[in-house]
Structure 1
Amino acid sequence: MSENTTNNIALINLPDMPESADNAVKNLTDAPTQNIGKTFADIWYLVFGGISQKAEKKRLQYAHDLEKFREQLDQSIDEIPDDKKLEPSLQTTAQALENSKYCVSSEILREMFTKLISGSMNSDTASLAHPSFPEILKQLSPSDALLLQDLFLSSQSSFPVASMGVKIRGNSYQILYDNVFIPPNISLEREQISLSLDSLERANLISINYNKQISGDNFYNSLKRTPEYSNVSEFAIDYSVDHPNSTSYFKKGLIQLTSLGKTFCSICIGKH
């Protein structure tokens, strides 16, 4: 018998070994496969313990948000008059519930899903709840939803937007900032606004049109007070040193909700 084996036996037979160590040895000798799972779990915790704790917090937060979603849904459905309540549409409601599980941690998206689902069960608004809306809603970020809500609740129907850069020669342009826009009533970072406009346009909820503009220069004055406009003006001056015929470029356009966007907002944002 080797020296290592002898030492192991001596170690196992130590009379003052703690009970926990005895149990561990017993698992190794009597039920090795049972102990594999615990050993792996211990190693997992040592490596990913911090991540696991964060994941647990996320799970608890998600459970809390999900409960709030259920409460909001129950309340919204209870508020529908009995004579206007409809059986939930499997096509719309099932899709909405399935897609909402990715969004319940966002308050605004949770509210929009609540209104879509309860609206589909109200005879006054059910015709507006198109089956494509759950998928559209799932693909919106909280910033997208905030911006869309801001446009829908505004008293305006058209909103000024501008493309800014340098006109080099003829019809040649170097665009520095596309779709510069100031939301009517909310504050978002420039990058968020640009990304959300692209997202909402891709979903066909808004249109961005540079072949039309709002009558009256005063509607665009606020865009000429932005850092983007100042940067373009400075760039145009420097650029004109080597390109004498170049000038700053400010193209006016407008943003509007599409027909789909108006219907989507009326069911997912509008009160019902």
Structure 2
Amino acid sequence: MSNFSLFKLPEAPKFLDESLTPASQEIGKTLGNIFYAVFSVVNYPIEKLRIKQVENLKKYEQDIKEELYGIPEDKLIDPPLNIVGPALEASKFYIEKEDLRKMFAKLISSSMNVDLTNYSHPSFIEIIKQFDSVEAQMIKFISERSFLPYIELIHSATGNDLVSMPIIEPYTKVEGVAADYSTISASIKNLQRLGLIHLVPISMSVDKPFIEELINDEAFNDYRNLKEGFGEENFALENIGFKIKTGNILLTSYGLRFVKVCL
């Protein structure tokens, strides 16, 4: 007997119910058929994994339904295949991660909303695929603010910022995210690489309490110890100075579009 379990959906799910107009029901049926085509036959080598994924699939269906029912009926349009098809296909491997699963559900529903379809973009599928949970939480946290302060430590030839090297790369704190400096910093770099955020080296007066909190973080322990050891006036080694740089994280125009349709 094969050790592979075959999972089949019993029928195409209904995403929009009988209470809506025939046109809306037809839109829901179209999406259900695409969903069925993507998920109807999936092979899982382990029974435990199969059961887990069936439960995740039910949650995914519910996530999409909740998003669709938030769209006014007169705003519903047929699912665009260039977004919905690849999004469902890609999401097979991410539905166990709630925050990523919900992003895919929101992207799919946004592409079916006439007010948001122009903001949707197929590249957003690849963006979500390159997220982990920390980055998903970070982009949400940033989107809820006008800006998010960050801090970094560089050393450079004294008086010459053009010859410099980061010692502590851009770092910030994100409420609700239990991650260390290296994880947060790597996530900032990834969001920047994906074109979702700018790092703007301009501080604002309202940043000061937050910046002081960041400087007191354990990531800067070595910096504080060096500064105390050398003294403020001698805090340089062979014409190499250490300098705290601050700035703010802002969404790019591309990032604003992503947030609008995926969060």
TM-score by length of 1: 0.70
Q: Which amino acid aligns with 1:268?
A: C
In structure 2, C-alpha distance between the alignment counterparts of 1:138 and 1:164, rounded to whole Å = 31
1:76 corresponds, among 52, 62, 67, to 67
In structure 2, C-alpha distance between the alignment counterparts of 1:246 and 1:236, rounded to whole Å = 13
Q: Give the superposed CA RMSD.
A: 2.8
Which residue does the alignment assign to 2:76? 85
2:258 corresponds, among 256, 260, 264, to 264
1:133 to 1:242, Cα distance in 2 relative to 1, 3 A: closer
Residue correspondence of structure 1 range 139-178 to structure 2 within 5 A: 139-153=130-144, 156-167=145-156, 169-171=158-160, 173=164, 175-178=166-169
Residue correspondence of structure 1 range 9-88 to structure 2 within 5 A: 55-88=46-79
Counterpart contact for 2:156–2:240, Cα < 8 Å? yes
Unaligned runs of 5+ in 2: 4-43
In structure 2, C-alpha distance between the alignment counterparts of 1:104 and 1:245, rounded to whole Å = 53
Unaligned runs of 5+ in 1: 1-36, 42-52
In structure 2, C-alpha distance between the alignment counterparts of 1:224 and 1:186, rounded to whole Å = 18
Q: Deviations over 1:72-99 (max 9, x none)?
A: 2133224433221100001111111111
Which residue does the alignment assign to 1:253? 247
2:204 corresponds, among 207, 214, 233, to 214
In structure 2, C-alpha distance between the alignment counterparts of 1:167 and 1:229, rounded to whole Å = 17
Count of equivalent residues: 217
Residues 1:230 and 2:224 are matched in the alignment: no
Structure with greater proportional helix content: 1
Counterpart contact for 1:206–1:261, Cα < 8 Å? yes
Percent of aligned positions with the same letter in both sequences? 29
In structure 1, C-alpha distance between the alignment counterparts of 2:212 and 2:236, rounded to whole Å = 29
Residue correspondence of structure 1 range 194-213 to structure 2 within 5 A: 194-210=185-201, 212-213=202-203
Q: Deviations over 1:231-257 (max 9, x none)?
A: 212134557699376554201122111
1:234 to 1:76, Cα distance in 2 relative to 1, 3 A: same
Q: Deviations over 1:150-177 (max 9, x none)?
A: 1112xx3122111114456443555321
Q: Deviations over 1:107-152 (max 9, x none)?
A: 0111111111011111121121112111111111111101101111
TM-score by length of 2: 0.72
Which residue does the alignment assign to 2:20? none
Which residue does the alignment assign to 1:137? 128
